Amino acid sequence: MALTGYSWLLLSATFLSAGAEISITPEPDQPAEGDNITLAVHGLTGELLAYNWYAGPTLSLTYLVASYIVSTGDETPGPAHTGREVVRPDGSLDIRGALLGHSGTYILQTLNRQLQTEVGYGHLQVYEILAQPVVLANTTELVERRDTLRLICSSPSPAEVRWFFNGEALPIDLRLSLSPDGRVLTRHGIRREEAGAYQCEVRNPVSVSRSEPISLTVYFGPERVAIIHDSTTRTGCTIKVDFNMSLTLWCVSRSCPEPEYVWAFNGRALKNGQDHLNISSMSAATEGTYTCIAKNTKTLLSGSASVVVKLTAAVVAMSIVPVPSKPTEGQDVTLTVQGYPKDLLVYAWYRGPASEPNRLLSQLPSGNWIAGPAHTGREVGFTNCSLLVQKLNLTDAGRYTLKTVTLQGKTETLELELQVAPME
C-alpha cells in the first residue's frame, strides 16, 4: 500500500505503539524571532515510512504542519503550515525566519513498516527582540516629603524589568515599592536625594532594551536661612560698622529652586529682591535690625534670618543731611540726622533760631513727639532725631535748628539752611 497525503493518519489510530522515547530539542535552544530554527529529533528507531509534525497540544488535523513520506521525499503541508516549515529526511523540522507565533508545543508522529506509530513531544519558545520601553511618571516635579512618585515602565512585551537611577542599578529598599510584575515603581514622601534620572530596562534571554532617562526634580526648603558678612555667618549677631563706611549683607539658604528674597529694615519691607543688600554709607539712620526672608514658590515654605547693625562706638560728629539733597516744591524732604547722641534724652526742631515761638516739635523721653507753636501739620519727628517735612512749599526754605539734650544734660545745637527749588 502506497502512502500519500494524509491517508496513513487513519492507520495510526489503529496501530499506536509506545516504542522508544523520542525527544525533540530546538537548535538554537533560545531562539529569537527571525532566527532559523531546527527542531532536532533524537531517539528514532527502526525503518520508518513517514513523519507527521503537529504544532499544538494534540494529534489533531487542525494542528498538522506537514506530512513527509520517507521513500519519496514528498512533503504535504497541513492546515497549520505557515510557509516557513520544512521536514528533513531525518525527521527534524526546520523553521525559517521564526515568528513569535511559532512558540508552543510540537509533536512528531512516526510510522514504521509494521504500521506502528510513535510520538515525541517538544516545546519551542521564540523570544521577542524587545522594543525600547518608555518610563511614564505621574509628575516630574515633586515637593519633598509631601508628594508621591509613581513611575511606570511601559513596554508591550512580557519581559523581566529592571530599574536604574543615574545610570546605576536602583536598589529597592523599604522606601521604594515595586508592583509584582516590577513595572510600577512607587515612592511615598519623596526625598531630595531621589531627584535625578530614572530608566527602566526590559530583558529576555535574547534581548535587552533600556529606556531613555526621565529626569525628576525634587523641591525643598528653604532651610538654614542665614545672613553672611565677610564670609562669616552673622545671623542673630550684632554687626558694628564705622560711620560713613559701606556694608553688604548676603542671604543664603538651602533651597530648590533658588528662593525669592525679601529684605526688611526694622520690620518695614525694602525694595530689594536680591540675595544681598548694600548699605552704601553707614549712619545713625541706617542703624537697626535687618531681616532677610527667603520664600520658595514651589514648596510654599519660607524662612528668615536677622542681624542688628550698629555704628561703632567711635565719636561721630552730628550732622544734618537733607534727603533728597535738592528738594523741589511739592516734594517731601527728610532732614536726616547722622551721629545723634546715643544717650539722647529729648530733642526739639525749630523753624529758625532755637526759641519757643519757632519750635516745630519736640520728642519726649517716652518716644512720643508733641507739636510746637510753629508746627504746620506737615512735620513728623523720628526717634533718630530726623525730621520729615511733607509737601514742601517755597516758604519752607530757610534755617532749621535741631537742639538735643543727653541723659547727662549735655546740650548740642545744629543748624541747616534748606533750599527749596520752585516747581518747573
Report d(CA 4, CA 419) in Å as an integer: 127
Return the DSSP state at 10.
H
What lies within 8 Å, CB to CB, of 14 at 6+ separation is none
DSSP structure string for 270-293: -S--SSEEEESS--GGG-EEEEEE
- Given the C-alpha cell 527502526, which residue does it identify? 46
C-alpha cell at 95: 523553521
* Closest of 346, 349, 370, 368 to residue 360, by C-alpha: 349
Per-residue pLDDT, averaged over 397-417, amounts to: 91
Q: What amino acid occupies position 89?
A: P
- H/E stretch holding 247 reads strand 247-256
Q: Which of 106, 126, 26, 32 is nearest to 65 (CA)?
A: 106
Alpha-carbon dihedral angle through residues 352, 355, 357, 360, given to the nearest 10 degrees: 60
Q: Is the distance from CB of 175 to CB of 95 less than 8 angstroms? A: no
390-405 pLDDT per residue, tens: 999 999 999 999 999 9
3-state secondary structure of 101: helix
Question: pLDDT by residue (tens digit) across 125-156?
Answer: 999 999 999 999 999 999 999 999 999 999 99
The pLDDT value given to residue 16? 42
Percent residues over pLDDT 70 in the chain: 94
- Predicted confidence at residue 120, as pLDDT, reads 95
314 pLDDT above the threshold of 80: no
CA atoms within 13 A on the CB side of 357: 0
Give tens-digit pLDDT for 47-92: 999 999 999 999 999 999 999 999 999 999 999 999 999 999 999 9
Q: Does residue 18 register a pLDDT over 90?
A: no
Rounded Cα gap, residues 284 and 281, in angstroms: 10
The 3-state secondary structure of 334-390, one letter per residue: EEEEECCCCCEEEEEEEECCCCHHHEEEEECCCCCEEECCCCCCCEEECCCCCEEEC
More confident residue, 408 or 377: 377
Q: Are the C-beta atoms of residues 30 and 64 closer than 8 Å to each other?
A: no
Q: Is the pLDDT of residue 13 over 60?
A: no
What the block records as the C-alpha cell of 150 is 509613581
Q: Give the integer Cα–Cα distance in Å for 8 and 14.
A: 10
Amino acid at the residue 53: W
Q: In the structure grid, which three cell numbers stand for residue 377, read together?
A: 501739620
pLDDT exceeds 50 at position 12: no
| Cβ–Cβ under 8 Å, residues 303 and 366 | no
Best CA proximity match to 281, nearest among 321, 250, 229: 321
Task: Report whether pLDDT(221) > 80.
Answer: yes
| pTM, full prediction | 0.63
The confidence band for 15, taking pLDDT boundaries of 50, 70 and 90, is very low
Q: How many CB atoms within 10 Å of residue 229?
A: 16
With cut-offs at 50, 70 and 90, classify the pLDDT of residue 235: confident
Average pLDDT over residues 199-214: 96
According to the model, what pLDDT value does residue 151 have? 96
